[in-house]
Amino acid sequence: MPIYEYQCQSCGHEHEALQKLSADPLVVCPACSKSDLIKKISAAGFRLKGNGWYETDFKSGTKKNVAGESTPSAPKASASSSGGSKTQ
């Protein structure tokens, strides 16, 4: 159930209410009992970011990461040389 934010036009009281989507909006202010409560427009309380469940949860085998590399990377060459001679 979503949380809706309300504000009273008479006294300025702000109120949050946990309501069903099908529920009628509240109109009576819990602070002053006047019928001047309006529903505020606000941002969602969560964000879906990152690799997300939709991409990784229901996959198996090699299809775990769709956003990653499509082919396996080649082994990296060693940066250090062993037993090599330097010319001066």
Residues 6+ away with beta carbon under 8 Å from 81: none
Residue 9 within any structural domain of the chain? yes
Stated pTM of the model: 0.49
User: 17, 27 in Cβ contact below 8 A?
Assistant: no
Predicted local distance difference test score (pLDDT) of residue 41: 86
Residue 18 within any structural domain of the chain? yes
The total number of structural domains that make up the chain: 1
How is the beta sheet containing 14-18 ordered, strand by strand?
A: 14-18, 3-8, 37-39
SS3 annotation, 21-67? CCCCCCCCCCCCCCCCEEECCCCCCCCCCCCCHHHHCCCCHHHCCCC
DSSP 11: T
List the pLDDT tens digit at each of the 88 positions of the chain.
788 999 999 999 999 999 998 999 999 999 999 999 999 987 766 666 666 555 555 556 665 555 555 555 555 555 554 555 555 5
Residue 14 within any structural domain of the chain? yes
Domain limits for position 30: 3-39
